[in-house]
A and B are shown apart, each in its own frame.
Chain A
Amino acid sequence: MARIIVVTSGKGGVGKTTTSAAIAMGLAKRGHKTAVIDFDVGLRNLDLILGCERRVVYDFINVINGEASLNQALIRDKNCNLLYILPASQTRDKDALTQEGVGKVLDELSKDFEYIVCDSPAGIEKGANLALYFADDAFVVTNPEISSVRDSDRMLGILSSKSRRAERNEEPIKEYLLLTRYDPDRVKLGEMLSLEDVQEILSLDLLGIIPESKSVLSASNAGMPVILDEKSEAGQAYADVVARYLGEKLPHRFIDGKQGFLRRLFGGRK
């Protein structure tokens, strides 16, 4: 049986797809056979972040509709042979996703994979609801910014009431916080909500802080998950997140900006 992870946030642009790509790659790199599914039907982007956009032939909706088999639609990652991508359809509309269809695909994947990462679209509509419905664990991606924290809180309400686990009165989805685009220098200046501020409101298990980092854009430019950029702070932060999720006890990093005087002076950030 696979463990199903949903990467969700409510708000758009906070780093869901970046996170999905990074943690799926991280899990696969550590030897766990992992599938990552793009639930953003009509606006697929996970294929770009993972650099496989030109290899998409069949998609999630084709599989649900029986127009292609799962094996035909799954794309094996070029960097790691334990990572497979199931792209969203770019041409259909969201109604093509059905609870029954998604359930079937997840069941079939569960036989063969250890982890299934569901990359949720923004919003609280069908795609987002189905991405979280079957989940065992939820990674709530949040920016230290008011609208993102509010939307995350809303998402927590949905996770606890509209999931399969909630409907069946099973143990609730395990919710984790991923604080992304964190800028310790701005926190110090009182310009940005701190980790403590966010935790005071959401009080979740913290999986990691991903610092604001130029390497995230570089990685997406190149179609390579940022976790593979081991020199970058964001890459290291995601590697820590995966390790913590798998049960390793690691101290949290990137809470305090440890920048030298010159770097601060010129505003550099790796």
Chain B
Amino acid sequence: MSLLDYFRSSKPKTAPLAKERLQILVAHERKFRNQPSYLPQLQKELLDVIRKYVNVDQDAISVNFEQDDNQETLELNIVLPDYQHTNKTINS
């Protein structure tokens, strides 16, 4: 800190911004940390299978992997398009 800094008292504080960005980022990255490496491939193949029957978008499928102390859960969520777009249904 130098003499000049004494006269520039109203500098914006950036540390809180850094902390906020970090908290969001780290929480996001930790979610993916322990996921099995086959997950993206699984998601792609599931999408291919489902598309044989229903016309769904890439982002209509979400695969969530969660882990706690005694179990691992793989959660698969498929959002089907509006009924009139297809006459087939599928249960996930």
Contacts and interface: CB of A to CB of B under 8 A. Distances in A.
B76 interface: no
B73 interface: no
Interface in B1-22: 1-3, 5-6, 11, 13-16, 18-19, 21-22
A266 B33 contact: no
A197 B19 contact: yes
A146 B2 contact: no
A157 interface: yes
B25 A191 contact: no
Contacts of B25: 150
Contact of B15 (A150, A157, A161, A187): A187
Contact of B26 (A150, A192, A265): A150
Interface residues of A, number: 24
A154 B29 contact: yes
A149 interface: yes
Nearest to B25: A150
A251 interface: no
The interface residues of chain A, by DSSP majority, are classed as helix
Interface size range on B against A: 20 to 34
A191 B15 contact: yes
B1 A157 contact: no
Given A189-B13, A191-B13, A201-B23, A265 B2 contact: yes
B26 A191 contact: no
Contact of B3 (A157, A193, A266): A266
Contacts of A194: 15
Interface in A151-172: 153-154, 157, 161
B3, B13, B15, B23 — most chain A CB neighbours (10 Å): B15
B71 interface: no
B9 to A, nearest CB: 9
Interface string A228-270: 0000000000000000000000000000000000001111000
Nearest to A188: B1
Given A190-B13, A264-B1, A153 B26 contact: yes
